């Protein structure tokens, strides 16, 4: 919040502004070519397990992946805020998209969608218990999606904060230990860059798997 104005809208819209926009020319520069190649490869990889019905989601899933990856990466810069460390935002992304996959399944193939709640060959006494367990696991999916993203990013940021503070405090007292701590901090930052990319990919991949069950 700055001067009483919530800046979440700026934090969410800024990543889109930073993307290079493709030109109308036949030949683009290297950056736009690389960006286009990455988006194509990722979309192909994501749509491989899906049948044709799920291919309508290609634009949505790829956009979500790019959105999350840029938010996560920009949040690693100093003096920035990462919106994806807020559970409310992640649940706001996870719940509607998960619900959309469930509604598609119920509308297109209700028998198969409800069939997921009971594995084949279940003994009769276990049927009510298994249906309850499978229903609970179905409703926990969006919570797991949102919490996984929040917890991984928040934990990484906290670790970076703690180790950086330790390095600053130790610098005048024990310079050698402070340098070693700074080295650990550098390695942890590299790990966090990887986590920022992987968590965005995992979020979209799990959504595509939920979609695959229902199309």
Parse the chain into domains and list their residue ranges: 7-214
Contacts of 211 (CB under 8 A, 6+ apart): 50, 54, 57, 101, 104
* Residue-level pLDDT at 145: 92
Element at 91 (helix H, strand E)? helix 87-108
**Model confidence pLDDT, tens digit, residues 101-137:** 899 888 888 777 777 777 777 777 878 888 888 889 8
Q: How far is CA 138 from the centre of its chain?
A: 19
Regarding predicted confidence, which is higher, 62 or 23? 62
CA distances from 55 to 36, 207, 211, 215 (A): 18, 13, 10, 10
pTM recorded for the entire structure: 0.84
Contacts of 67 (CB under 8 A, 6+ apart): 15, 16
Q: How far is CA 41 from the centre of its chain?
A: 18
Contacts of 209 (CB under 8 A, 6+ apart): 49
Contact 211, 50 (CB under 8 A): yes
Tokens for 177, please give them.
């230990």
Give the pLDDT band of residue 182 (cuts 50, 70, 90).
Answer: very high
């Amino acid at each position: 919040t700055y001067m009483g104005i919530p800046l979440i809208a700026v934090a969410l819209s800024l990543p889109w502004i930073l993307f290079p926009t493709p030109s109308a020319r036949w030949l683009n520069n290297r950056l736009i070519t690389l960006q286009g190649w990455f988006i194509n490869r990722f979309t192909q990889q994501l749509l491989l397990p899906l049948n044709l019905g799920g291919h309508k989601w290609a634009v949505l899933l790829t956009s979500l992946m790019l959105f999350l990856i840029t938010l996560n990466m920009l949040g690693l810069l100093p003096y920035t805020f990462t919106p994806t460390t807020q559970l409310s935002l992640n649940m706001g992304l996870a719940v509607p998209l998960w619900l959309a996959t469930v509604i598609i399944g119920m509308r297109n193939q209700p028998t198969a969608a409800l069939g997921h709640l009971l594995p084949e060959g279940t003994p009769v006494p276990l049927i009510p218990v298994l249906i309850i367990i499978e229903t609970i696991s179905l409703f926990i999916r969006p919570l797991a999606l949102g919490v996984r993203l929040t917890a991984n990013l928040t934990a990484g940021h906290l670790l970076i904060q703690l180790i950086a503070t330790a390095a600053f405090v130790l610098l005048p007292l024990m310079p050698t230990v402070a340098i070693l701590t700074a080295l650990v901090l550098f390695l942890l930052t590299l790990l966090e860059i990887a986590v920022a990319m992987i968590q965005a990919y995992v979020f979209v991949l799990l959504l595509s798997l939920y979609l695959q069950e229902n199309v």
